[in-house]
Chain A
Amino acid sequence: MKKTKLGEFEELVLLTVAALQADAYGVEIKRELESRIKEKLSVGSIQSALKRMEEKGFLTSEFGETTLKRGGKRKRIYTTTSYAHKVLAEMKDIRAGLWEAIPKLTPQLKVI
């Protein structure tokens, strides 16, 4: 856990990439995540998260096809690495363990 340093926003983006599979390129990731968190995101935030995670080894990417709307520029398709899956699973387990630990008496209490 120590070395992973996966931020909250990064985790969300990473999950989105994993969910989108072959469609995982900048615009699609942004759209998907926006619809889920119901909040506008800037291209810059998504991109910097993607680049950071690529550097840390959570993502790999390669150029995909282009569409009419992109003015001839290719998409970059992101794929999650097995390492990412491992880290995500760990995170999920940690979270799940913590949820388990919360006493069931206070279901209305907001957890921060």
Chain B
Amino acid sequence: MSHQMDARPPDWPLRLLRFFVKEEYLEEIEGDMEEIFLTNVEQLSLAKARRIYTWDMLKLLRPTLIKHFKTIPTFNQFAMYKNYFKIAWRNLVKKKAYSFINIFGLGLGIACCILIFMFVQDELSYDNYHTKGERIFRVIHGESVPGKPEQSSGSAPFWVWGNAPIGPALKSDFPEIEKVVQFSGRSDILLTYGEKVYQEDGVFFMDSTAFDVFSWKLLKGNPKTALAAPYNIVLTESTAKKYFGDEDPIGKVLKGSESPGRSNRGDYTVTGIVADIPLNSHFRFNALLSLSTFRNSIPEIFGEWGYVDFYTYFLVGEQFDEAAFKKKIPDFLSRHKAWPDSRYFIEIEPLKDVYLRTKAERQPGETGSLPNIYVFSIIGLFILVIAMINFMNLSTARSMERGKEVGIRKSVGAYRSSLVSQFLGESVMIVLLSGLIAVILVMIALPNMGALTGKEFNIERFITWQTISLFVAMMLFVGLAAGSYPALVLSGFNPIMIMKGMVRSSAGGINLRRALVVFQFTLSIALIAGTIIVYFQMNHVLDKDLGFDKEQMLVLDYNYDDDVNKKSEVLKDILENNPSVLSVGFSRSVPGSYYPHAGTELETPKGDMEMMGQPIFQVGMDFVSHFNLKLIAGRSYSREHPTDSSQAIIINEAAARQYGYSNPAEAVGKKFAQWGRSGIVIGVVKDFNFASLHRNIEPLTMPLVPYACRYMSLKVKTDNIQETIKKVGEVWKEIAPHRPFLYSFLDDDFNKQYQSDVMFKRLFTTFSGLAIFIACLGLLGLATYTAEQRTKEIGIRKVLGADVRNIVGLLSKDFILLVIISIFIATPLSWYAMHRWLEGFAYRMEISPWVFVLAGFIALSVAVLTISYQAIKSAVMNPVKSLRSE
């Protein structure tokens, strides 16, 4: 029996049979064949049975039994296709200008679309490379609603940056959390190896569990122990190269400076080399120091719930239920809260949301902007639509010329379906040609995209079968969509009517074309208006008087170095002797950089002390005058009051308001307590924009810390700045030879906050410009076509005495009307969209109606220029020529 079970007939003859023989016979014949085979297996050998089976199968392929395969006279069809190609090609070549506008315009549109697609893809790809990414979450710290400790409050912003004890507490309370990784805020450290000294500003103190959670590629070293012991350092590949060249860095020792508030100075041993962190990471670094270094230097911080300097990420098990976990948070917090009445609250955020959808501030790195992605996707779509409309318009317009061809084809027996496929095929062909041009344009543009977006694009990442099939599908779609109108309309013509010349151009076609032009110009005008608003808003932001001097301010970063701080007075004296240096000041922050937050108790008008939080800007002695801040009440810090550095504070107007003083002068002389010092408010400065103009001016306190600063800023004369810098550098070498001379200009630094806005402006301007260009190409094509259509009419008009002006007016009138209609449609649309965009700025320009007038005017004049080129050309033509030709 088992023998029989094994006895299977060979497979392929059956497949052959199924392919050739009529389906209705299959069941019977297969059954017969199998029965005979099995009988043969019983009586003869298996091999023989199979041979008979195969042979019989072959003999079954007889005319009576096989399917009726359609016999296709292929040669005939082939000739037809050849003819289609030939006609398509002749049509392209015959009107080179149209063909160029069609193909190049569409190619340009597709290229823009591809570039935008790449940009969006890149933004969406952030942190995708973490293989455990789905299971990584992070803690964000915020406040609960007063009186409801189980509900997070929406009012105070969440911070990613928080305390240390939350990490171990989470790990011990929740078995579903597998690993917790914590790291410090972004640190700066001076690393020395022999002659090589660099200030590394992308450094984190990182937990030893980092490599269990994040998928950074550790090229050398043991992932378990690399960040375990104090004074271990893991470098990225390029950082290692910078210090050690081709030497093996493992085990080498780098002398590290103190990292204020985090670690003492010490010798770091290189224990690992990690591949450079991918560009699409929400935070990147040059080196990692072991968190135990931090813990050894300042252990008490790690038990302090109120001390903020840590990011906490964690890896959860496969079965993690986010919603259930969130429900457990209030209980967890009440178990651990250091102060029972505090409103401390946490939420968690999955890793996939941290780049684009985070609601927290104080990020470890950059974040992207989801609205920007939407804006650019929409612009990309607009551009594609505009280019497609061009294509459709020109094809419909020109299709009328091919009416005769359609008539003849129909009279000699072409089916409607074959005409449809001819025209669709033709348009797909042209689109594919445009696609080719688009790819070439993308290749050319890609190196410049880096400058435009501040990102580097790696083309290889985009060459995957998904993107390629998407691209091809898009091409087909564009081709079919753009070709559908001419294909369907032309093929429906009655051949007799066409041959008699009865069908000139259908009203439907003209109206469709008009509607499309309006649509196109609406989009273009909206983009122009948007560009104008973005442009003026960015200028508004960059030129606004911030309330302090940011021009000609040279900033030296010495990273809290004690030796420099001790010599600060000497430095100041020497440097101020230089006639090019107007004044010198010291501070712990500079406008636009980072501010810690502090809780400050201050006497309110009622006389009681109230605790409120605000940013804190710690400054040196002459800071107020140095930065040209306006003192509106009280006095500034002074060397004549030695107690200023412990018992005095200057606040800004907003802070005075925060504590309830409508007249800032009343705040002067009130008591305060902050960070272990207490005394009185000695002065109030006018509000100045110490942070980006996306935000309103926050309350600010400015305590005096003369010998614990980080930055030295020098106001210098404009002339001969290079010379001044050189002189300052020489002084620096003399006084602080152990610190590198790191300088920058305050306005540059401050404007770095607007990097993403500037990028937005640049991208927006570029792509809008392109969109408008493409729309005008289309208009040019249409105008040319119309003029050509009316050659005879123009000729007759001229003969009868029309002058050039009349003719130009005649030809332009229609289009200009369309553009004006577009202006009216576009204005409210773009007003609404740009209003939404401006809401992201605390300081915004007013959208004046002139913006739209200007946008309309620009669109109109571009359109008029485009059209009149052709209109004038036709108008000055000799009428004899146009009338004689037939």
Contacts and interface: CB of A to CB of B under 8 A. Distances in A.
A44 B28 contact: no
29 contacts: A25-B32, A26-B29, A26-B31, A26-B32, A27-B35, A27-B39, A30-B36, A43-B33, A43-B56, A43-B60, A44-B59, A44-B60, A44-B65, A45-B59, A47-B25, A47-B29, A47-B32, A47-B62, A52-B64, A63-B28, A69-B38, A69-B39, A73-B30, A74-B27, A74-B28, A75-B28, A75-B31, A75-B32, A76-B28
B23 interface: no
Main SS at interface, chain A: helix
B821 interface: no
Nearest to B55: A42
Contacts of B25: 47, 51
Given A43-B36, A69-B38, A74 B60 contact: no
Nearest to B62: A48
B803 interface: no
Given A73-B27, A76-B28, A44 B35 contact: no
Contacts, number: 71
Nearest to B32: A26
A45 B56 CA distance: 9
B524 to A, nearest CB: 68
Interface in A27-63: 27, 30, 42-45, 47-48, 51-52, 63
A95 to B, nearest CB: 26
- Cβ-closest 9 pairs across A and B: A73-B31, A44-B59, A26-B32, A70-B31, A76-B28, A44-B60, A48-B64, A42-B59, A69-B35
Contacts of B65: 44, 47-48, 51
Contacts of B33: 43
Interface string B38-52: 110000000000000
Contacts of A69: 34-35, 38-39
Contacts of A27: 32, 35-36, 39
Interface hub of A73, A75, A76 (most chain B Cβ within 10 A): A73
Given A51-B25, A69-B38, A69-B39, A43 B61 contact: no
A45 B55 CA distance: 12
Given A27-B36, A44-B65, A48-B65, A71 B31 contact: yes
A67 interface: yes
Interface size bracket, A side: 20 to 34
Interface hub of A45, A47, A66, A69 (most chain B Cβ within 10 A): A47
Contacts of A52: 64
B59 A66 contact: no
Contacts of A42: 55-56, 59-60
Contact of A66 (B31, B55, B60): B31
Given A43-B59, A43-B60, A48-B65, A71 B27 contact: no
A70 B31 CA distance: 5
Interface of A: 25-27, 30, 42-45, 47-48, 51-52, 63, 66-67, 69-71, 73-76
A26 B65 CA distance: 14
Interface in B130-172: none
Contacts of A70: 31-32, 34-35
A16 to B, nearest CB: 15
Nearest to B28: A76
Interface size bracket, B side: 20 to 34
A43 B52 CA distance: 10
Contacts of B55: 42
B69 to A, nearest CB: 17
A25 B35 CA distance: 12
Nearest to A55: B64
A75 B27 CA distance: 8
Interface in B377-407: none
Nearest to B27: A73
Contacts of B56: 42-44
B28 A73 contact: yes
A65 to B, nearest CB: 11
Contacts of B38: 69
Contacts of B61: 44
Contacts of A48: 62, 64-65
Nearest to B53: A43
A50 B571 CA distance: 114
A14 B59 CA distance: 21
A81 to B, nearest CB: 19
Given A26-B28, A47-B25, A71 B59 contact: no
Given A48-B62, A48-B65, A43 B27 contact: no
Contacts of B64: 48, 51-52
Nearest to B33: A43
Given A30-B36, A51-B64, A73-B28, 17 more contacts: A26-B32, A27-B39, A43-B29, A43-B33, A44-B61, A47-B32, A52-B64, A63-B27, A67-B35, A69-B38, A70-B32, A70-B35, A73-B30, A73-B31, A74-B28, A74-B31, A75-B31
A68 to B, nearest CB: 9
A67 to B, nearest CB: 7
A71 B36 CA distance: 12
A43 B32 CA distance: 8
Contacts of B62: 44, 47-48
Contacts of A30: 32, 36
Contacts of B31: 26, 66, 70-71, 73-75
Contacts of B32: 25-27, 30, 43, 47, 70, 75
Contact of A71 (B29, B34, B60): B34
Interface string B835-875: 00000000000000000000000000000000000000000
A47 B59 CA distance: 10
Contacts of B36: 27, 30, 43
A66 B35 CA distance: 10
Contacts of A75: 28, 31-32
A71 to B, nearest CB: 5
A51 B63 CA distance: 11
A26 B38 CA distance: 15
Interface hub of B25, B35, B64 (most chain A Cβ within 10 A): B35
Nearest to B26: A73
B59 to A, nearest CB: 4
Nearest to A73: B31
Interface hub of B30, B32, B65 (most chain A Cβ within 10 A): B32
A26 B32 CA distance: 6
Nearest to B34: A71
A46 B582 CA distance: 114
Contact of B34 (A44, A47, A51, A73): A73
A75 B28 CA distance: 6
Interface hub of A44, A63, A76 (most chain B Cβ within 10 A): A44
A51 B65 CA distance: 8
Nearest to A76: B28
Interface string B732-759: 0000000000000000000000000000
A52 B32 CA distance: 18
A66 B38 CA distance: 14
A47 B27 contact: no
